[in-house]
Amino acid sequence: MPEDSSCPVYQLLDVCLHLNNRPILQGLNFQVQQGERVAVLGPSGAGKSSLLRLLNGSLKPSAGEMTLLGQPVSSLAPRNIRLLQRQVGTIYQQFHLVSALKVIHNVNAGHLARWPLWKSLLSLLWPQSLAQAQSVLETVGIPEHLFSPTAQLSGGQQQRVAIARLLIQNPSIILADEPVSSLDPRLSQDILTLLTDLTVTHSRTLIISLHDVALAQQFCNRVLGLRQGQIFFDCAIAQLTPEKLSALYATARDT
């Protein structure tokens, strides 16, 4: 599928999302350009995870128009959506790894969208692409764990495995849904440093939901404030003021 490097990575025009007949996201209008690092902030239930699921194609807009790499998501055939989705890699707070498998298999899961079924099955018995898996584990700092049982790794190490899987997929867009919420402050710094390095060195785009405003200020250059399913503000990180933050997190009682 041709990609136009001059077009925005995402363009949302009046996008709404309904789930089970409930409005979850409403009237979203924004663009994201290649190479931006966008933090999504907002109170619990504001719709941050739903927005990321919309952006990775797991959910479709109920109304409005969303383009991904210049392609209109709503009107694409399922096969073309799957091709486009390969450009989007997502990591999660809970890592989404198969803990019963060894690290190599979780890393190789990054190949699944491209490998034929026979190769995926064969790899469970005789792991394929060992050198590539070893190389990405070196990049994320845990080369010694290629054959470790995933369940025996710490939370920080499991998030590194999830990032290694992402590197195998080699997406141009990285979405991260509260990727450090279950990690201690030092590990959070390490993981976000790794993620932003991988974003910057390969001109990838990063969109990351966070609860920690200081981390957003340290690692991102733009911030979307989401409140009750709507964009409350959209600004450069340097323009994020205490007043904007207080209003974003104000409870109904405060307003």
Ligand X SMILES: Nc1ncnc2c1ncn2[C@@H]1O[C@H](COP(=O)(O)OP(=O)(O)OP(=O)(O)O)[C@@H](O)[C@H]1O
Residues near ligand X (CB under 6 A) are 19-20, 22, 24, 42, 44-50
Nearer to ligand X, 50 or 196 (CB): 50
Left, alpha or beta for 224 (phi > 0: left; psi -120 to 50: alpha)?
Answer: beta
The least CB distance from residue 231 to ligand X, in Å, is 13
The least CB distance from residue 165 to ligand X, in Å, is 22
Q: In a 3-state reduction of DSSP, which class is residue 238?
A: helix
The least CB distance from residue 136 to ligand X, in Å, is 28
Nearer to ligand X, 52 or 104 (CB): 52
Q: In a 3-state reduction of DSSP, which class is residue 32?
A: strand
Q: Which residues contact 241 (CB under 8 A, 6 or more apart)?
A: none
DSSP for 83-109, written as a single string: HHHTTEEEEETTTT--TTSBHHHHHHG
The least CB distance from residue 70 to ligand X, in Å, is 26
CB-count exposure of residue 110 (10 Å: 0-12, 13-18, 19+): buried
Nearer to ligand X, 52 or 163 (CB): 52
Nearer to ligand X, 50 or 56 (CB): 50
Nearer to ligand X, 1 or 63 (CB): 63
The least CB distance from residue 81 to ligand X, in Å, is 20
Nearer to ligand X, 45 or 149 (CB): 45
The least CB distance from residue 251 to ligand X, in Å, is 14
Rounded distance between C-alpha atoms, residue 134 and residue 128, angstroms: 11
Rounded distance between C-alpha atoms, residue 150 and residue 97, angstroms: 8
Nearer to ligand X, 26 or 67 (CB): 26
Rounded distance between C-alpha atoms, residue 90 and residue 96, angstroms: 10
Rounded distance between C-alpha atoms, residue 38 and residue 205, angstroms: 8
Rounded distance between C-alpha atoms, residue 63 and residue 61, angstroms: 5
The least CB distance from residue 226 to ligand X, in Å, is 7
